[in-house]
Chain A
């Protein structure tokens, strides 16, 4: 890059990015509008409180996994083993519940396992000097194998007793009804909101969060400024493992069982949510609320398509297209300003 080709018109950059962002939202709105035209009662069905609650419920898992992935991507890395980690935590928790009856014990242990596995990812990446893509490719396989071995490839069903029911209501099935309205907010949504607040505070108000952005922006420069890059990255992997475990809690509570490969594939969806939400894939730029936006967009899209009786499999196609279009828009708006 020559020194004579300077960046100009900075104002324009910001505006275009926002437009790009809204472009995705607009596209979804246009789609909904289209559906409304095709099917007159679409809007009333879509905005039905039950349906909205449904969207909320279906999006929460994606959002929580997305949070985990956001942290990793912000720090400039990637973790494709998050789905395997979540599955592993799920079966461990299920096993503990089945063998001890105590979900109060299961949850902290599950989260600890998630954190430990995340730690391993981070440690090998940093100390081994290997691209995180490869490391998590390896751990993905290992963890998958471990989960299968642990459960003998079978599903661990939770017993149906009052204690477990309490667990399941608390983390999955329960709703909070806003007084004097019909609006019901599922518990998982509340969990997402709490997580959103906590992680945003972490990222914007703590030194650790600051360091994550610095490391993601340029690890070499951050190191020269005295930031312990290795430690930050390992911590990020560990934290994201723990957050993935939280997703497993909700998943297990919802399904009432632990499946060794249950959440495999969620990592790719999580990447989609992060990217569609506008967080930069290369690191250092983005936020957790953006992932909520991304997850919502995917959830709304899927829901709308289901309401329109579109083949479930084609939803995968739509998702693929949306991912690409979203990033294309982002790239296009950013191109106008780069040297």
Chain B
């Protein structure tokens, strides 16, 4: 097979999902007068931030050959911790530090157990999923903690510098930084190598264990940040928040075209996946589609998107 053919396929992959995103965008613009509206688009941006940031973290993990099923309950747990810190100390910096620190700590646990304990990440994060949910419920007794700190809300949600929602700006900056790390640093190249063939990477002198753990820590920190943004958006922290977030995040990454087995994919692709799901959710809400049907449509889109991707890739595979 020639290099030209490989390029053709690669291009058609990226354009496949991008095409779907554009098509959906146009569809909803035509179907609802409220969609293509400045306020709604700002809202759309805000709605997508949580999923987007989480999906960034998930992309790193999946690229390294692992998976994380705990992001939803971890976001909920960290959001509770942050809310409690904010309530008890009134310090925004403190809340930020606690949120990022807690995320990093959970990342360390995930990383150590998976890498040094030789437990498949599916299982480790499944355990954390269960444990984190339990802790959230126990600590709050299922009662939501409201966020009353005006400054916090301003910094992380309400501000609109240049008319753009500040949370979206955070997400974009984060994306730029993470994209750079993934494509232009030693760390990023190592991640791709490890996801592609961990044994060969190790025999090439790449510290596989260390990098895998670092990926978990990085992902955990990013998730901590997601929690910080999320409570500002909703205005409260509760154990019910972010149910199914892990599945949505995985769906976004996979829809974007990153391979579940690792070593193949990118953050840009993930953005397409996130946009797809985000536009879908927003548009369906605007069209007043029953939430039941939203479930159905989301599920169908996931399967269809992957099928189409498979089909376009399957030619001559």
Contacts and interface: CB of A to CB of B under 8 A. Distances in A.
Q: A contacts B directly in the complex (CB < 8 Å)?
A: yes
Interface of A: 124, 128-131, 133-135, 137-146, 148-149, 153, 268, 271-272, 275, 281, 311, 313-324, 327-328, 331-332, 335
A228 to B, nearest CB: 21
Give me the 4 closest cross-chain CB pairs, A-B, nearest first.
A316-B134, A145-B295, A141-B299, A320-B131
Nearest to B138: A313
Contacts of B303: 124, 128, 130, 134-135, 138-139
B117 interface: yes
Chain B interface helix/strand/loop/mixed:
helix
Nearest to B139: A313
23 contacts: A128-B310, A129-B310, A135-B303, A137-B247, A141-B296, A143-B299, A145-B295, A146-B296, A272-B130, A311-B138, A313-B134, A315-B134, A316-B133, A317-B130, A319-B130, A320-B126, A322-B127, A323-B127, A327-B119, A328-B113, A331-B117, A331-B118, A335-B118
A95 to B, nearest CB: 15
B302 A316 contact: no
A321 B138 CA distance: 16
Contact of A268 (B129, B138, B250, B295): B129
B214 interface: no
A249 B225 CA distance: 43
B118 A271 contact: no
A275 B123 contact: yes
B254 interface: yes
Interface string B137-180: 11000000000000000000000000000000000000000000
Contacts of B19: none
B242 to A, nearest CB: 15
Contacts of A314: 134-135, 138
B292 A145 contact: yes
B296 A313 contact: no
Contacts of A138: 299-300, 302-303
Interface string B180-201: 0000000000000000000000
A316 B296 contact: no
Interface size class of B (residues with CB under 8 A): 35 or more
Given A134-B303, A324-B113, A324-B119, A145 B294 contact: yes
B295 A142 contact: yes
Given A141-B296, A328-B118, A316 B130 contact: yes
B247 to A, nearest CB: 6
Given A327-B120, A332-B118, 8 more contacts: A129-B310, A134-B260, A141-B296, A313-B135, A316-B131, A319-B127, A320-B132, A328-B113
Nearest to A271: B126
Interface of B: 113, 117-120, 122-124, 126-135, 137-138, 247, 250-251, 254, 260, 290-300, 302-303, 306-307, 310, 314
Chain A interface helix/strand/loop/mixed:
helix
A116 to B, nearest CB: 16
Give the residue among A141, A145, A148 with the most B Cβ atoms within 10 A.
A141
Nearest to B131: A320
Contacts of B300: 138, 142
Contacts of B122: 281
Contacts of B138: 311, 313-314, 317
Contact of B292 (A130, A148, A268, A331): A148
Contacts of B310: 128-130
Contacts of A323: 123, 126-127, 130
Nearest to B135: A317
B224 to A, nearest CB: 19
Give the residue among A139, A148, A313, A331 with the most B Cβ atoms within 10 A.
A313
A124 B310 CA distance: 12
Contacts of A139: 299, 303
Given A137-B250, A149-B293, A268-B130, A316 B137 contact: yes
Contact of A149 (B118, B247, B251, B290): B290
Contact of A327 (B123, B130, B260, B299): B123
Contacts of B132: 320
B296 A142 contact: yes
B79 to A, nearest CB: 17
Contact of A320 (B119, B128, B260): B128
Contacts of B118: 328, 331-332, 335
Nearest to B301: A138
A243 B128 CA distance: 28
Contacts of A128: 303, 306-307, 310
A140 B247 CA distance: 10
A319 B135 CA distance: 12
Contact of A130 (B129, B133, B295, B307): B307
B250 A317 contact: no
A317 B117 contact: no
Contacts of B260: 131, 133-134
B111 to A, nearest CB: 13
Contact of B251 (A137, A153, A272, A317): A137
A227 B290 CA distance: 45
Contact of A134 (B120, B129, B254): B254
Contact of B117 (A142, A148, A315, A328): A328
Contacts of A131: 260
Nearest to A142: B299
A320 B130 contact: yes
Contacts of B247: 137, 140
Nearest to A127: B307
Nearest to B247: A137
A143 B135 CA distance: 29
A144 B303 CA distance: 15
Given A130-B307, A137-B247, A313-B135, A148 B130 contact: no
Contacts of B130: 268, 272, 316-317, 319-320, 323
A256 to B, nearest CB: 24
